Amino acid sequence: MPRILVIEDESDIQSLLRFNLEREGHQVTVCGGGGDGLHELRRNPYDLVLLDLMLPDRDGLEVCRVMRADPAMAGVPIIMVTAKGDESDVVLGLGLGADDYVAKPFRIKELMARIKVRLARAVDRGRSGESKRLQFQGLVIDPVRHRVTVDGQVAPLTLTEFRLLHVLAAHAGVAYARYDLLDRIGDGETVVTDRTIDVHVRNLRKKVEPYQRFVETVRGVGYRFSELAEEPTE
Ligand code: CA
Protein backbone atom coordinates (compact mmCIF):
# COMPACT_ATOMS: atom_id res chain seq x y z
CA MET A 1 0.00 0.00 0.00
CA PRO A 2 1.70 3.26 -1.11
CA ARG A 3 2.26 5.73 1.72
CA ILE A 4 1.48 9.33 0.88
CA LEU A 5 2.26 12.37 3.01
CA VAL A 6 0.00 15.38 2.47
CA ILE A 7 1.47 18.69 3.67
CA GLU A 8 -1.43 21.14 3.50
CA ASP A 9 -2.86 23.64 5.96
CA GLU A 10 -6.42 24.09 4.64
CA SER A 11 -8.75 21.63 6.34
CA ASP A 12 -11.20 21.40 3.40
CA ILE A 13 -8.41 20.37 1.07
CA GLN A 14 -6.94 18.04 3.68
CA SER A 15 -10.25 16.14 3.86
CA LEU A 16 -10.73 16.14 0.10
CA LEU A 17 -7.27 14.68 -0.47
CA ARG A 18 -7.50 12.16 2.34
CA PHE A 19 -10.88 10.90 1.13
CA ASN A 20 -9.79 10.47 -2.49
CA LEU A 21 -6.37 9.02 -1.75
CA GLU A 22 -7.73 6.49 0.72
CA ARG A 23 -10.39 5.47 -1.79
CA GLU A 24 -7.56 4.69 -4.24
CA GLY A 25 -6.00 2.40 -1.65
CA HIS A 26 -3.26 4.71 -0.40
CA GLN A 27 -2.17 5.07 3.19
CA VAL A 28 -2.42 8.78 4.03
CA THR A 29 -0.82 10.99 6.68
CA VAL A 30 -1.68 14.70 6.82
CA CYS A 31 0.54 17.44 8.26
CA GLY A 32 -0.64 21.03 8.55
CA GLY A 33 2.75 22.71 8.27
CA GLY A 34 6.17 22.44 6.67
CA GLY A 35 7.99 21.86 9.94
CA ASP A 36 5.64 19.03 10.93
CA GLY A 37 5.93 17.56 7.46
CA LEU A 38 9.73 17.43 7.57
CA HIS A 39 9.60 15.96 11.05
CA GLU A 40 7.25 13.23 9.82
CA LEU A 41 9.46 12.51 6.78
CA ARG A 42 12.45 11.98 9.05
CA ARG A 43 10.52 9.50 11.16
CA ASN A 44 8.71 7.39 8.57
CA PRO A 45 9.25 6.26 4.97
CA TYR A 46 6.92 7.68 2.29
CA ASP A 47 6.38 6.87 -1.37
CA LEU A 48 5.19 10.34 -2.37
CA VAL A 49 4.65 13.82 -0.92
CA LEU A 50 1.83 16.17 -1.90
CA LEU A 51 3.17 19.57 -1.00
CA ASP A 52 1.16 22.77 -0.69
CA LEU A 53 3.44 25.74 -1.30
CA MET A 54 1.65 28.30 0.89
CA LEU A 55 2.08 27.03 4.43
CA PRO A 56 1.88 28.92 7.73
CA ASP A 57 5.38 28.11 8.97
CA ARG A 58 8.08 26.82 6.62
CA ASP A 59 6.79 27.26 3.08
CA GLY A 60 6.65 24.50 0.50
CA LEU A 61 9.69 25.65 -1.43
CA GLU A 62 11.79 25.43 1.71
CA VAL A 63 10.41 21.97 2.45
CA CYS A 64 11.39 20.98 -1.07
CA ARG A 65 14.90 22.34 -0.65
CA VAL A 66 15.42 20.59 2.71
CA MET A 67 14.10 17.29 1.33
CA ARG A 68 16.37 17.29 -1.70
CA ALA A 69 19.43 18.13 0.40
CA ASP A 70 18.78 15.26 2.81
CA PRO A 71 19.93 11.86 1.51
CA ALA A 72 17.23 10.14 3.58
CA MET A 73 14.42 11.82 1.63
CA ALA A 74 16.07 13.07 -1.55
CA GLY A 75 14.49 10.25 -3.58
CA VAL A 76 10.87 10.71 -2.49
CA PRO A 77 8.72 12.10 -5.36
CA ILE A 78 7.15 15.52 -4.69
CA ILE A 79 4.01 16.88 -6.36
CA MET A 80 3.52 20.56 -5.55
CA VAL A 81 0.11 22.13 -5.10
CA THR A 82 0.41 25.77 -6.05
CA ALA A 83 -1.76 28.86 -5.97
CA LYS A 84 -3.43 29.57 -9.31
CA GLY A 85 -1.24 31.41 -11.77
CA ASP A 86 1.85 31.46 -9.58
CA GLU A 87 4.28 30.48 -12.28
CA SER A 88 7.43 31.71 -10.58
CA ASP A 89 6.81 29.32 -7.67
CA VAL A 90 6.34 26.44 -10.10
CA VAL A 91 9.61 27.23 -11.85
CA LEU A 92 11.44 27.57 -8.53
CA GLY A 93 9.94 24.37 -7.15
CA LEU A 94 10.80 22.29 -10.20
CA GLY A 95 14.30 23.76 -10.05
CA LEU A 96 14.58 22.65 -6.44
CA GLY A 97 13.77 19.10 -7.41
CA ALA A 98 9.98 18.77 -7.21
CA ASP A 99 8.70 16.26 -9.78
CA ASP A 100 5.39 17.76 -10.83
CA TYR A 101 2.69 20.25 -9.83
CA VAL A 102 -0.99 21.00 -9.97
CA ALA A 103 -2.49 24.47 -9.60
CA LYS A 104 -5.37 25.24 -7.25
CA PRO A 105 -8.23 24.80 -7.76
CA PHE A 106 -7.21 21.42 -9.12
CA ARG A 107 -9.43 18.71 -10.53
CA ILE A 108 -9.18 15.74 -8.23
CA LYS A 109 -9.15 13.28 -11.17
CA GLU A 110 -6.17 15.02 -12.71
CA LEU A 111 -4.27 15.02 -9.43
CA MET A 112 -4.98 11.29 -8.91
CA ALA A 113 -3.73 10.57 -12.44
CA ARG A 114 -0.50 12.45 -11.78
CA ILE A 115 0.04 10.60 -8.52
CA LYS A 116 -0.47 7.31 -10.32
CA VAL A 117 2.17 8.22 -12.91
CA ARG A 118 4.73 9.13 -10.24
CA LEU A 119 4.17 5.97 -8.24
CA ALA A 120 4.34 3.82 -11.39
CA ARG A 121 7.68 5.38 -12.35
CA ALA A 122 9.07 4.54 -8.94
CA VAL A 123 7.93 0.92 -9.43
CA ASP A 124 9.56 0.81 -12.89
CA ARG A 125 12.83 1.96 -11.37
CA GLY A 126 12.46 -0.89 -8.90
CA ARG A 127 11.93 -3.46 -11.67
CA SER A 128 14.94 -2.29 -13.64
CA GLY A 129 17.09 -2.96 -10.60
CA GLU A 130 18.17 0.66 -10.29
CA SER A 131 16.46 0.93 -6.95
CA LYS A 132 17.11 -2.55 -5.65
CA ARG A 133 17.80 -2.64 -1.94
CA LEU A 134 21.25 -4.01 -1.19
CA GLN A 135 22.15 -5.81 2.00
CA PHE A 136 25.56 -6.92 3.20
CA GLN A 137 25.30 -8.35 6.70
CA GLY A 138 24.03 -5.45 8.88
CA LEU A 139 24.66 -2.83 6.18
CA VAL A 140 21.54 -2.01 4.16
CA ILE A 141 21.50 0.39 1.20
CA ASP A 142 18.09 1.62 0.06
CA PRO A 143 18.42 3.61 -3.20
CA VAL A 144 14.73 4.59 -3.30
CA ARG A 145 14.97 6.46 -0.03
CA HIS A 146 18.66 7.27 -0.36
CA ARG A 147 19.04 5.69 3.03
CA VAL A 148 21.73 3.53 4.56
CA THR A 149 21.23 1.69 7.81
CA VAL A 150 23.95 0.13 9.93
CA ASP A 151 22.58 -2.59 12.20
CA GLY A 152 19.16 -0.94 11.98
CA GLN A 153 20.33 2.61 12.67
CA VAL A 154 20.16 5.25 9.92
CA ALA A 155 23.67 6.38 8.97
CA PRO A 156 23.86 10.16 8.31
CA LEU A 157 25.49 9.97 4.87
CA THR A 158 25.75 12.99 2.62
CA LEU A 159 24.36 12.60 -0.90
CA THR A 160 27.88 12.20 -2.33
CA GLU A 161 28.82 9.58 0.27
CA PHE A 162 25.59 7.77 -0.48
CA ARG A 163 26.25 7.71 -4.23
CA LEU A 164 29.79 6.56 -3.69
CA LEU A 165 28.72 3.66 -1.48
CA HIS A 166 25.85 2.74 -3.80
CA VAL A 167 28.02 2.62 -6.93
CA LEU A 168 30.65 0.48 -5.22
CA ALA A 169 28.19 -1.86 -3.49
CA ALA A 170 25.98 -2.30 -6.57
CA HIS A 171 29.05 -3.71 -8.34
CA ALA A 172 30.62 -5.51 -5.42
CA GLY A 173 34.01 -6.99 -6.22
CA VAL A 174 34.74 -4.53 -9.04
CA ALA A 175 37.68 -2.18 -8.49
CA TYR A 176 36.95 1.39 -9.56
CA ALA A 177 39.54 3.98 -10.44
CA ARG A 178 39.10 7.35 -8.74
CA TYR A 179 38.32 9.13 -12.02
CA ASP A 180 35.69 6.52 -12.81
CA LEU A 181 34.04 7.09 -9.44
CA LEU A 182 34.17 10.83 -10.07
CA ASP A 183 32.15 10.35 -13.25
CA ARG A 184 29.59 8.23 -11.51
CA ILE A 185 28.95 10.26 -8.40
CA GLY A 186 29.25 13.79 -9.76
CA ASP A 187 25.93 15.56 -10.21
CA GLY A 188 27.31 18.30 -12.42
CA GLU A 189 26.93 20.85 -9.64
CA THR A 190 29.22 19.83 -6.83
CA VAL A 191 32.88 19.94 -7.73
CA VAL A 192 34.48 16.63 -6.87
CA THR A 193 38.17 16.09 -7.48
CA ASP A 194 40.45 13.06 -7.23
CA ARG A 195 41.60 13.95 -3.76
CA THR A 196 38.12 14.70 -2.46
CA ILE A 197 37.15 11.12 -3.34
CA ASP A 198 39.62 9.99 -0.69
CA VAL A 199 38.10 12.39 1.82
CA HIS A 200 34.61 11.16 1.01
CA VAL A 201 35.73 7.55 1.41
CA ARG A 202 37.32 8.33 4.78
CA ASN A 203 34.13 10.01 6.02
CA LEU A 204 31.97 7.26 4.57
CA ARG A 205 33.96 4.56 6.36
CA LYS A 206 33.53 6.32 9.71
CA LYS A 207 29.78 6.42 9.20
CA VAL A 208 29.36 2.75 8.29
CA GLU A 209 31.36 1.28 11.18
CA PRO A 210 31.60 -1.63 11.94
CA TYR A 211 31.43 -2.39 8.20
CA GLN A 212 34.04 0.14 7.11
CA ARG A 213 36.33 -2.66 5.94
CA PHE A 214 33.86 -3.45 3.12
CA VAL A 215 35.08 -0.30 1.37
CA GLU A 216 38.51 -1.54 0.38
CA THR A 217 41.43 0.43 -0.95
CA VAL A 218 42.89 -1.17 -4.05
CA ARG A 219 46.48 -0.03 -4.23
CA GLY A 220 47.35 1.79 -7.42
CA VAL A 221 43.76 1.68 -8.64
CA GLY A 222 41.12 3.09 -6.33
CA TYR A 223 38.37 1.42 -4.38
CA ARG A 224 36.32 -1.72 -4.33
CA PHE A 225 33.39 -2.93 -2.24
CA SER A 226 33.92 -6.37 -0.83
CA GLU A 227 32.03 -8.17 1.88
CA LEU A 228 34.96 -10.54 2.15
CA ALA A 229 37.49 -7.86 3.00
CA GLU A 230 38.99 -8.80 6.32
CA GLU A 231 41.50 -6.23 7.40
CA PRO A 232 40.72 -2.61 8.13
CA THR A 233 42.13 -0.69 5.20
CA GLU A 234 43.47 2.26 7.10
CA1 CA B 1 -2.01 26.69 1.98
The topology (CATH level 3) of 128-225 is Arc Repressor Mutant, subunit A (1.10.10)
pLDDT band at 33 (very low <50, low <70, confident <90, very high): very high
The rounded Å distance from CA 225 to ligand 1 centre is 46
For residue 134, pLDDT over 80 is answered with yes
pLDDT band at 44 (very low <50, low <70, confident <90, very high): confident
User: How high is the pLDDT of residue 115?
Assistant: 94
The residue extents of the domains of the chain are: 3-126, 128-225
CA dihedral 206, 209, 214, 216 (to 10 degrees): 30
CA dist 124 and 131 (Å) reads 9
The rounded Å distance from CA 48 to ligand 1 centre is 18
- The CATH number assigned to the domain with range 3-126 reads 3.40.50.2300
Per-residue pLDDT tens digits for 164-187: 999 899 888 888 888 888 877 765
Q: What is the mean pLDDT of residues 54-76?
A: 86
Q: Which residues of 76-94 are buried (b: 16+ CB within 10 A; e: fewer)?
A: bbbbbbbeeebeebbebbe
For residue 234, pLDDT over 70 is answered with no
Sequence-distant (6+) residues with CB within 8 A of 208 are: 139, 148, 150, 155, 165, 214, 215
Q: What is the mean pLDDT of residues 50-54?
A: 95
For residue 231, give the 3-state DSSP assignment. coil
The rounded Å distance from CA 69 to ligand 1 centre is 23
The rounded Å distance from CA 111 to ligand 1 centre is 16
The rounded Å distance from CA 18 to ligand 1 centre is 16
Percent of the chain with pLDDT over 70: 89
For residue 55, pLDDT over 90 is answered with yes
Percent of the chain with pLDDT over 90: 49
The rounded Å distance from CA 71 to ligand 1 centre is 26
